[in-house]
Amino acid sequence: MSEEELLFRETVRRFAAERVAPLVRRMDEEQQMDAALVRSLFELGLMGIAISEEFGGSGGTFFDSILAVEAISAVDPAVGVLLDVQNTLVNAALLRWGTEEQKKKYLPRLARDTVGAYALSEAGSGSDAFALQTRAESRGDAWILNGRKLWISNAKEAGLFVVFATVDATAGYKGVTAFLVEKGAAGFTVGRKEDKLGIRASTTCELVLEECAVPETQLLGEPGNGYRIAIETLNEGRIGIGAQMLGLAQGAWTHAAKYAKERKQFGRAIADFQAMQFQLAEMATDIEAARLLVYNAARLRDAGADFRKEAAMCKYFASQAAERVASLAVEVFGGLGFVKDSPVEKLYRDAKIGKIYEGTSFMQLATIAKLVL
């Protein structure tokens, strides 16, 4: 990494230690992101990393976004996914597909004070991402949206939503279209918040659209082009989830290694026993392999090269590694690891989602198989 990247990563790590760490347990228990923390993320420039300075962003790279997600997730993966959705999905979609008017209108807000959310999933549209029931009908100079979205991250905090609906149910994925919907729009409601196993501070809610009128100017891309927008942004988002899981694994390992040096049994620190050393060594190897996969995918994306296979690989492997490492970290802590006084208990719960959202492990394997075969 360059000196600038190393300095940026260290700045984010220090922020995570000083500003995020003290809030982790309370946010998890209350299932709510601290509002002052969200403001601090904007103030540090972490919510608009790849947005150009022209629009009030940090003017960084996609790789910078990945470094930030990793560093924050080592302390709290719930905050990590807030950054990930903002930078690799919402901001990325607008940067690539937005009109100049849309960029001028929304990018400064996304960099300054507006959280974004990405609304694709529905009750019957998970891995089959484009079996959408949400409909969009053109009426005059507006589109009328009707339907429900589920499992939408950042939904409670968000002021702008990228919403996918179909304009022609008979056209399959070719009818999928993306819209920019603002919080407070008539006919648009943020519904029930999910009570989740992990990343509990990250709000996950349903969205309800009932005769929601969206002006023609809020169409993102062309009608029927939503499939391409979703696929291309989700490929980048998978690298972000890989970074989240990488950070989680690193955080779990750091806690476990520190505890192993402090905890004494039979008159010795448990880190002095070869069995414990081997366990920590295997965990460290998994983390390093995940890091190389994640960083490689991010570098390929910034270079403009094809990164689809690498994105699927890094998301698949990092989520597998995070669950293994977090589970072993609980075992290193022993009985203490099974109670909430331990930091690794939360990380173990947080790890499970990595195999599920933004494409399950099975979907990643299907993508990898298609591209390697």
The mean pLDDT value of the chain amounts to: 96
Statement to judge: residues 186 and 197 lie in one domain = yes
Q: Are residues 277 and 304 in the same domain?
A: yes
The model's pLDDT over 7-38, given as tens digits with 9 standing for 90+, comes to 999 999 999 999 999 999 999 999 999 999 99
pLDDT at 130 over 90: no
Q: What percent of the chain has pLDDT over 90?
A: 95
Which of 90, 114, 138 is the last residue before a domain boundary?
A: 114
Q: Select from 128, 140, 214 the least CA-distant residue to 178.
A: 214
Same domain, 140 and 234: no
What is the average pLDDT across 264-293?
97
What per-residue confidence (pLDDT) applies to 189? 97
By residue count, the chain amounts to 373
Judged against a pLDDT cut of 90, whether residue 131 lies above it is answered with no
pLDDT, one tens digit per residue, over 138-181 is: 999 999 999 999 999 999 999 999 999 999 988 889 999 999 99
219 and 165, same structural domain? yes
- Domain with residue 270: its CATH number is 1.20.140.10
Asked whether residue 242 falls in the same domain as residue 347, the answer is yes
The reported pLDDT for the residue numbered 353 is 98
| Count: domains in the chain | 3
94 pLDDT band, cuts 50/70/90, is: very high
Give the whole-angstrom CA distance, residue 53 versus residue 275: 51
Distance between CA atoms of residues 46 and 58, nearest Å: 8
Residues noted as catalytic: 358
pLDDT at 129 over 80: no
Q: Two tokens at 246?
A: 């990488």
**pTM (2 decimals)?**
0.96
Whether 182 and 87 share a structural domain: no
Same domain, 110 and 121: no
Based on the fold, state whether residues 132 and 188 are members of the same structural domain: yes
For tokens 């959705």, what's the residue?
Answer: 85
Residue 180's CATH number: 2.40.110.10
Phi, psi dihedral angles at 286 (to 5 degrees): -60, -40
Residue with tokens 């009985």: 335
Confidence of residue 126 (pLDDT cuts 50, 70, 90): confident
The last residue of a domain, from among 163, 193, 224: 224
Looking at the structure, do residues 61 and 121 belong to the same domain, yes or no? no
The C-alpha angle with vertex 305 and arms to 301 and 307, in degrees rounded to 5, equals 60
pLDDT of residue 259: 98
Q: Which domain holds residue 240?
A: 227-372
Residue 261 confidence (pLDDT) above 80: yes
Are residues 272 and 214 both part of a single domain? no
In this prediction, residue 79 carries a pLDDT of 98
- Cα separation, 74 vs 253, whole angstroms: 10
CA 264 vs. chain centroid, Å, equals 38
* 196-207 tens-digit pLDDT: 999 999 999 999
Residues 312 and 248 in one domain: yes
* pLDDT in the model for residue 127: 79
Q: Which pLDDT does position 262 carry in this prediction?
A: 96
Same-domain check for residues 257 and 173: no
DSSP 194: P
Last residue of a domain, one of 92, 114, 136: 114
